Structure 1
Amino acid sequence: MIDIVIEARKASIGEGMNVNRILPFRMRRMVGPFIFMDHAGPVDIVGQDPSSSMDVLPHPHIGLSTVSYLFGGQVTHRDSLGVNKIIRPGEVNWMTAGSGIAHSERFEDPHTLANSKLEMIQTWVALPEKDEETAPTFENYQPEELPIYTDKGIWMRLIAGNAYGLENKVKTHSPLYYLHVNMEKGHLFGLPDKHTERAIYVAKGSVEVSGRYYTAGQMLVFNKTANPKIKAQENCTLMFLGGEPLGERYIWWNFVSSSKDRIEQAKADWKEGRILLPPTDNLEFVPLPEDRSKPAGSPSPQALS
């Protein structure tokens, strides 16, 4: 029923900001088109000034869409398209890198963050080969644009794609689903059944599946024929995700592609300044990491979004 259980690994994306890294994993690189997943926080920032130590400086991407989803706090996104957007909880922020984009994520207003906890999920969605060189875009979707389903003991928001008869206008490039699900203790819920690859990530709490227990920081990847019931052992927060596989992808640092040569080109483009910096955040950036000839598939610690 369960193909693999992935344990989140600790990773640092900068001073003061540690994350749980779930994907990619050496024994399971992707789930549907999802090739990367980080869970940052919760970070208790009371009494701290996050404006410098936790910032993610301008850095590049190709061949993917980044998806930012917050449970708490706020982040300022700036990119080379000129977008300057404060990201808040419950919104979907979908940036398609395509042929190349640079962006930053900064924590600039400690007063608005006081007495809260910063917590966010970052995923990367690989693009189909025909879309890998598409023009970069950024779209923000407000919570009221995202359908919500409720039942006894269940609350669910569709972030993107389609599942359980829900759809929204979040633009995707391949068939997928992505949901934020809250379950109350003792209640049961099933997986969507119209997608080839399916997984749940336990963000908070614990669940039971077929008599076994799974806790926060674990991703459960199910086989194609599984029809499990997920039982909440306590109040819990889950991320449901999956979709149709796209085929092999290579990942190095912040670059994703179906071609190793394209990743080499992206390295050169960033090093030589051919990927533009955000016009309102262009005084510093993350330099290209030293290539120590690791196999493609080992993102650097700065790889959050």
Structure 2
Amino acid sequence: MPIELIIDKRTHDLGGGFEVGRVLPFQKRRMVGPFIFFDQMGPVYLDAGIPKSLDVRPHPHIGLSTVTYLYDGAMTHRDSLGFHQEIKPGEVNWMVAGSGITHSERFEYARTNGANMFGIQAWVALPNEFEETNPAFYHHEGDDLPHWSDDGIKGRLIAGAIDGMSAKVKTHSPLFYVHLEMKNGGRHTISNQYSERAVFVARGAVEVLGQALIAGQMAVLSGNEAIDIKATTDATIMILGGEPVGKRFMFWNFVASTNERLEQAKEDWKQGRMKLPKGDENEFIPLPE
């Protein structure tokens, strides 16, 4: 079968009506290529004057890269390297945690203006040889990324390489991450360039070789054949995958190839050995019990 598994997002309310839908990791499928975490944020309208308790306070990461990609709204990123970046729709903000970084994500624009928040947060596990690389942050405007329009489809390559295109985002292993806006009846073929691939429907509905997928579902593809997607409504689609990087252990915001490294990261955070973002030194998320 061309579809190995269909994963439904599991919804969790963070408070104030702001919901996230967890897709990866899943019990039967922890990763797709190097992608180890995949959350849908919203869609939800945040009124002006929302409380600061909705913000994601400073917290740490190791062993991965994060990318927050928005369809609507805005978020304010601050990190321990000193970067302060407003995240806007269609842009790529790629944060390499490596040996360790801390950051916060705040709804400052929505707090002032009100905003419809809708997007995806994904994590990519770093391969063994780059797990302890120096942390870094890269910002790319939407026009800085490969994009195309064709027969009812608008596409953008967020990161990696596929179909002869390469994004400028610095990655550490073979992968691809694509955003498609599809009109009803539009079609797209997913290349067989990588051994692991998945399709996520953020909005609308599609068919993958006759199998219906609706908003909030991810289809993990099997085999090594090219796969056709057909939109059955106007739809927002994410296609992702790449080559596996090996088994990974995960605790909270930490990803590592060994449990020993996770334990070290826990202790570093508990003992205050990880620098907090500039301007965010007075609060942080404690290590979960």
Asked if 1 retains the 8 angstrom alpha-carbon contact of 2:34 and 2:245, the reply is: yes
- Which residue number in structure 2 is paired with residue 77 of structure 1? 77
User: Offset at 1:51?
Assistant: 4.7
User: Offset at 1:91?
Assistant: 0.7
- Which residue number in structure 1 is paired with residue 20 of structure 2? 19
- Which residue number in structure 2 is paired with residue 121 of structure 1? 120
Partners of 1:13 and 1:155 lie apart in 2 by 32
Once the two structures are superposed, residues 214-258 of structure 1 have per-residue CA deviations (whole angstroms, 9 ceiling, x without a partner) of 100000010132432111100000001000000100111000000
Larger mean Cα displacement after TM superposition, 5-14 or 208-217? 5-14
- Which residue number in structure 2 is paired with residue 8 of structure 1? 9
User: Offset at 1:108?
Assistant: 1.5
User: Offset at 1:109?
Assistant: 3.1
User: Offset at 1:165?
Assistant: 1.7
Asked if 2 retains the 8 angstrom alpha-carbon contact of 1:74 and 1:113, the reply is: no
Q: Residues 108 and 184 from structure 1, CA distance in 2 versus in 1: closer, same or farther, beyond 3 angstroms?
A: same
Q: Residues 113 and 224 from structure 1, CA distance in 2 versus in 1: closer, same or farther, beyond 3 angstroms?
A: farther
Question: SS where residue 109 of structure 1 aligns?
Answer: helix
User: Offset at 1:53?
Assistant: 3.0
User: Offset at 1:164?
Assistant: 1.8
- Which residue number in structure 1 is paired with residue 151 of structure 2? 152
User: Offset at 1:11?
Assistant: 2.3
Question: SS where residue 277 of structure 1 aligns?
Answer: coil
Unmatched segments (≥5 aa) in structure 2: none
- Look up the equivalent residue of 2:162 and give its one-letter code: A
User: Offset at 1:210?
Assistant: 2.4
Larger mean Cα displacement after TM superposition, 160-169 or 265-274? 160-169
- Which residue number in structure 1 is paired with residue 55 of structure 2? 55
Q: 5 Å matches for 1:170-249?
A: 170-249=169-248
TM-score by length of 2: 0.96
Asked if 1 retains the 8 angstrom alpha-carbon contact of 2:73 and 2:110, the reply is: no
- Which residue number in structure 2 is paired with residue 130 of structure 1? 129
TM-score by length of 1: 0.91
**What is the RMSD computed on CA atoms of the aligned residues?**
1.3
Q: Residues 147 and 190 from structure 1, CA distance in 2 versus in 1: closer, same or farther, beyond 3 angstroms?
A: same
Q: 5 Å matches for 1:270-281?
A: 270-281=269-280
Larger mean Cα displacement after TM superposition, 192-201 or 219-228? 219-228
Q: 5 Å matches for 1:80-91?
A: 80-91=80-91
Q: Residues 204 and 110 from structure 1, CA distance in 2 versus in 1: closer, same or farther, beyond 3 angstroms?
A: closer
Partners of 2:183 and 2:201 lie apart in 1 by 14
Partners of 1:161 and 1:288 lie apart in 2 by 32
Moved over 6 A (4+): none
May I ask how many residue pairs the two structures share in their alignment? 288
Q: Residues 12 and 270 from structure 1, CA distance in 2 versus in 1: closer, same or farther, beyond 3 angstroms?
A: farther
- Look up the equivalent residue of 1:101 and give its one-letter code: I
Question: SS where residue 177 of structure 1 aligns?
Answer: strand
1:38 aligns with 2:43: no
- Look up the equivalent residue of 1:66 and give its one-letter code: T
Q: 5 Å matches for 1:245-284?
A: 245-284=244-283
User: Offset at 1:12?
Assistant: 3.8
- Look up the equivalent residue of 1:32 and give its one-letter code: G
Partners of 2:102 and 2:15 lie apart in 1 by 17
User: Offset at 1:17?
Assistant: 2.6
Once the two structures are superposed, residues 85-128 of structure 1 have per-residue CA deviations (whole angstroms, 9 ceiling, x without a partner) of 111111100000001111000111336643x4111210000001
Once the two structures are superposed, residues 169-215 of structure 1 have per-residue CA deviations (whole angstroms, 9 ceiling, x without a partner) of 11000010001001111122111221110101000000112222110
User: Offset at 1:16?
Assistant: 4.2
Partners of 1:83 and 1:4 lie apart in 2 by 39
Partners of 2:217 and 2:157 lie apart in 1 by 21
User: Offset at 1:13?
Assistant: 4.1
Question: SS where residue 280 of structure 2 aligns?
Answer: coil
Asked if 2 retains the 8 angstrom alpha-carbon contact of 1:50 and 1:108, the reply is: no
- Which residue number in structure 1 is paired with residue 288 of structure 2? 289
User: Offset at 1:82?
Assistant: 1.1
Question: SS where residue 108 of structure 2 aligns?
Answer: coil
Larger mean Cα displacement after TM superposition, 210-219 or 103-112? 103-112
Asked if 2 retains the 8 angstrom alpha-carbon contact of 1:51 and 1:107, the reply is: no
Partners of 1:189 and 1:52 lie apart in 2 by 41
Identity of aligned residues (%): 53
- Which residue number in structure 2 is paired with residue 163 of structure 1? 162
Asked if 2 retains the 8 angstrom alpha-carbon contact of 1:68 and 1:123, the reply is: yes
